[in-house]
């Protein structure tokens, strides 16, 4: 619930639509399908920025972008964040494009798309979803390849401790799976 409130504040302050403050988006936030929800799942230490924080959130130059960073974009009248999966560089080593994974990046769903996906015939619910910044990729992890680096507004990099913690967590999960496979193998050998 705490993260839902923070995401709501993020979206409210960023004003996805000018009338967003008039929208009740709590149910959408509880579903956890916004871009910030996805980035927080990849990097729990990512701070939920407020409108005035965005200019100071940048802690790396765009030219210093690396895998595992968060790319921050301006889309229409709001900010969008995505996890950097890969950086493509030119012969001089300068970043020219990135591959990202993200949620809720896309177009506004048409009424037909909304009706099909969310199983409702209410135009009022569709309008409220649009007011809450729902895209046709809400709650879906998508990827974009070769995103021009010029479209990246800012970069946020997790500190070394957060990177180490994430890597340690992945290693621990991998070791757990290896141990499980070995145990299954030995269990089968005992049969």
Do 129 and 179 belong to one domain?
Answer: no
Report the distance separating Cα 89 and Cα 100, nearest Å.
15
User: Residue 7 sits in which domain range?
Assistant: 2-158
User: Which region holds residue 82: left if phi is over 0, alpha if psi is between -120 and 50, else beta?
Assistant: beta
Do 154 and 170 belong to one domain?
Answer: no
Contacts of 163 (CB under 8 A, 6+ apart): 68
Among residues 63, 67, 62, the alpha carbon closest in space to that of 92 is found at: 63
Do 184 and 171 belong to one domain?
Answer: yes
Do 99 and 35 belong to one domain?
Answer: yes
Do 106 and 176 belong to one domain?
Answer: no
Do 107 and 181 belong to one domain?
Answer: no
Do 125 and 187 belong to one domain?
Answer: no
Do 35 and 110 belong to one domain?
Answer: yes
Do 101 and 167 belong to one domain?
Answer: no
The per-residue pLDDT for 161 is 40
pLDDT in tens, 82-141: 999 999 999 999 999 999 999 999 999 999 999 999 998 899 999 999 999 999 999 999
Q: Which residues of 62-80 are buried (b: 16+ CB within 10 A; e: fewer)?
A: beebeebbbbbbeeeebbb
Phi, psi of 80 (to 5 degrees): -135, 140
Task: Count how many domains the chain has.
Answer: 2
pLDDT in tens, 14-48: 433 333 457 889 999 899 899 999 999 999 988 87
pTM of the model: 0.71
Do 107 and 70 belong to one domain?
Answer: yes
Do 92 and 168 belong to one domain?
Answer: no
Do 38 and 69 belong to one domain?
Answer: yes
Burial degree of 49 (CB within 10 A; 0-12, 13-18, 19+): buried
Report the distance separating Cα 151 and Cα 126, nearest Å.
29
Beta-strand ranges (E) seen in 30-183 are 70-75, 78-89, 95-103, 141-148, 154-156
């Amino acid at each position: 619930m705490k993260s839902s409130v923070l995401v709501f504040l993020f979206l409210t302050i960023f004003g996805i639509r000018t009338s967003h403050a008039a929208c009740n988006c709590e149910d959408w936030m509880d579903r956890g399908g916004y871009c910030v929800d996805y980035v927080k799942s990849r990097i729990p230490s990512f701070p939920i920025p407020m409108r005035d924080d965005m200019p100071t959130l940048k802690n790396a130059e765009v030219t210093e972008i690396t895998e595992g960073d968060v790319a921050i974009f301006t889309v229409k009248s709001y900010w969008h964040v995505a996890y950097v999966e890969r950086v493509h560089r030119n012969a001089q080593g300068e970043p020219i494009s990135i591959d990202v994974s993200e949620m809720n990046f896309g177009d506004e769903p048409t009424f037909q798309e909304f009706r099909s996906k969310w199983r409702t015939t209410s135009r009022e619910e569709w309008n409220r979803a649009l007011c809450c910044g729902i895209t046709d990729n809400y709650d879906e992890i998508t990827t974009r390849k070769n995103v021009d680096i010029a479209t990246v507004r800012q970069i946020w990099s997790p500190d070394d401790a957060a990177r180490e913690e994430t890597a340690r967590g992945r290693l621990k999960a991998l070791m757990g799976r290896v141990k499980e496979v070995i145990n299954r193998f030995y269990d089968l050998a005992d049969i």
